[in-house]
Amino acid sequence: MLTIVPRPRTLRMSPDEEALTLGTTPGIAAAGAARPVAELLAASLRGRGAAPSVVDADDAAVIVLELTGPDGSRGASDDHIADESYTLDITSAAITVSAPERAGLFRGTQTLLQLLPVDLAASAQLPVLHVDDAPRFGYRGVMIDVVRHFFPVADVLKLIDALALLKINVLHLHLTDDQGWRIQIDSWPDLTAVGAAGAVGDAPGGFYTKDDLGRIIAYAAERFITVVPEIDLPGHTNAALHAYPELNADGVAREAYHGIEVGFSSLSASPERAEVTDRFLRDVLGEVAALTPGPWLHVGGDESWSTSAEDYRDLVRRITAAAAATGKRVIGWHEIGSCDDLPAGTVAQYWSYLQPVAPAADQVRAVVAHGGQVIMSPADVAYLDIRYPEDLPTPGGYALGLDWADGPTSFAAAYGWEPTAIVEGLAESDILGVESPLWTETALTIADVEHLAFPRAAALAEVGWSAAGDRDPAEFAERVASLGPGWDATGIRYARLSEVPWRG
Ligand code: ACM
């Protein structure tokens, strides 16, 4: 059977036609803006033992990458969400990937990589086929919490490669929380000089310099993945309240915090703190927005349980206004829907359950009623930090995953949900997309992250990309099983769940 995850829109096979034999020194023809995509494909083939060469579009080559649209050089930016559609044709003579834009061309090469064996040191047979593909939703994200545990740049780049293969197009970085502040802010240097020390328990802290984050953003952008930075406000701010006493209502710095409880910290809504708090918001959100070419800026808004309802609405109004003033489209967790004064086009990220817990559904509908959209992250099926139903060997030998969101979460549950069926009254067009967050209370290393994320991130990828309906969990598990050798070859420590018929 063919392994394509997520399932493409249409796939036509011609079993009677002679297969294509791909030699060990394939040429990849690409012109102009298609060239960087060809170079990335060549690097992937090299990683599998082949010796490809990228040649000019006019030269003979077994693999051809062609841009068909007038805007072929575009990528996601402030004013443009990339077109990810593509076609892939394999005949007995050639492999052709065509797309209107580079993003689609890259997605098509990921489909091709899934069809190729992981060892290309010998020639490979490919079936004759035609794929015509495009995503259902424009936003298909994975979030990693780099606060509760911190992950160096190289770890994040490795994760990006694994996500790219699944056509994930957003990496949401949860950069600040009670336990630490993980992004350099020049105008408020103590956020990292003081606020980045430590993580959960005894784990080391750390932070990304602007150059570090720039490297992550550039690496992701080459793979047509947009980084969405999150500064969590007004709660989840203990690290900032520890670094800067003047952000506290009483002017006293908070103690550093390295536990895993939530909901105890808040920026101050008091009039005496208005000037400093608004300056903090303007400076921090301005610097973060300036770092990121993507269209979105996430301002958190979840679990501000120590903020009164009135103060919360006041702070969220000021936070989202400061974020919108950077020119970005604002995203917040669904609680921000309790504020009726949000900037135009604000996006609510729903993190309640398949059966919404009040008032989450109303908060989401309020955002939509004001012209906004929704990212669906139902915690009981989309959260990657929830443990699996079975005890499997883990990379570090310690247990991974929490239970809080109606855990455990099986692979079948992660696959078997429909984004439009959760909050009544939402149309397909109200849903910007889907995302799987991975909070890192129990994940100390990138191997731990991989164990929790894979294979469930593949389920999220298919929920976000593939057409609704006719989801067959057994058939999906078969396809996901074929990803195992690729994950093995690239050192991804996925969980070998018994729900998936892994080979070998
Ligand atoms: C969340 O899980 N607190 C968004």
Q: Write out pLDDT tens, residues 78-114.
A: 556 789 999 999 999 999 999 999 999 999 999 999 9
| Ligand 1 pocket, CB under 6 A | 302-303, 333, 351
Q: What is the pLDDT of residues 134-176, one digit of tens each?
A: 999 999 999 999 999 999 999 999 999 999 999 999 999 999 9
Can you name the residues that pair with 133 across neighbouring β-strands?
86
Task: Name the closest-CA residue to atom 3, ligand 1.
Answer: 302
| Ligand 1: centre distance to CA 262 (Å) | 10
**pLDDT band at 131; cut points 50, 70, 90:** very high
Which is the closest atom of ligand 1 to the Cα of 351? Answer: 4
| Ligand 1: centre distance to CA 133 (Å) | 33
Q: What is the pLDDT of residues 418-456, one digit of tens each?
A: 999 999 999 999 999 999 999 999 999 999 999 999 999
Average pLDDT, whole number, for the chain? 96
Domain 10-133 class? Answer: alpha beta
Residue ranges per structural domain of the chain: 10-133, 139-489
> Vertex 31, ends 30 and 34: CA angle to 5°?
70
**pLDDT band at 469; cut points 50, 70, 90:** confident
**Residue 256's closest CA among 205, 303, 326, 306?**
205
Task: Name the closest-CA residue to atom 2, ligand 1.
Answer: 351
pLDDT surpassing 70 at residue 72: no
pLDDT surpassing 90 at residue 459: yes
Q: What pLDDT is attached to residue 471?
A: 87
The answer to whether 472 and 449 have CB atoms below 8 angstroms apart is no
Tell me how far apart the alpha carbons of residues 173 and 153 are, in angstroms, rounded to a whole number: 12
| Ligand 1: centre distance to CA 9 (Å) | 32
Which is the closest atom of ligand 1 to the Cα of 236? Answer: 3
Tell me how far apart the alpha carbons of residues 194 and 481 are, in angstroms, rounded to a whole number: 45
Q: Which is catalytic among the residues 39, 66, 246, 303?
A: 303
Fold of 139-489: TIM Barrel (3.20.20)
The neighbour count for residue 371, using CB atoms within 10 Å, is 11
Q: What pLDDT is attached to residue 82?
A: 84
Ligand 1 binding pocket mutation candidate from 302, 353, 381 (most atoms within 8 A of CB): 302
Half-sphere exposure of 24 (CA within 13 A, CB side): 8
| Ligand 1: centre distance to CA 503 (Å) | 36
Which is the closest atom of ligand 1 to the Cα of 383? Answer: 2
Q: Using CB atoms within 10 A of its CB, is residue 290 exposed (0-12), middle (13-18) or buried (19+)?
A: exposed
Q: What is the pLDDT of residues 281-332, one digit of tens each?
A: 999 999 999 999 999 999 999 999 999 999 999 999 999 999 999 999 999 9
More confident residue, 76 or 197: 197
Which is the closest atom of ligand 1 to the Cα of 300? Answer: 4
The answer to whether 386 and 405 have CB atoms below 8 angstroms apart is yes
| Ligand 1: centre distance to CA 335 (Å) | 10
pLDDT surpassing 70 at residue 76: no
Q: What pLDDT is attached to residue 150?
A: 98
Concerning whether 303 is annotated as a catalytic residue, the answer is yes
**pLDDT band at 372; cut points 50, 70, 90:** very high
pLDDT surpassing 90 at residue 1: no
Q: What is the mean pLDDT of residues 362-368?
A: 98
Specify the pairing of strand 347-350 against strand 329-333.
Answer: parallel
| Ligand 1: centre distance to CA 487 (Å) | 29
Q: What pLDDT is attached to residue 340?
A: 92
Q: What pLDDT is attached to residue 73?
A: 59
DSSP single-letter state for residue 404? T
389-403 burial, b at 16+ Cβ within 10 Å, e below that, comes to: beeeebbeeeebbbe
**pLDDT band at 54; cut points 50, 70, 90:** very high
**Residue 278's closest CA among 335, 236, 233, 243?**
233
Which is the closest atom of ligand 1 to the Cα of 262? Answer: 3
Q: What pLDDT is attached to residue 78?
A: 54
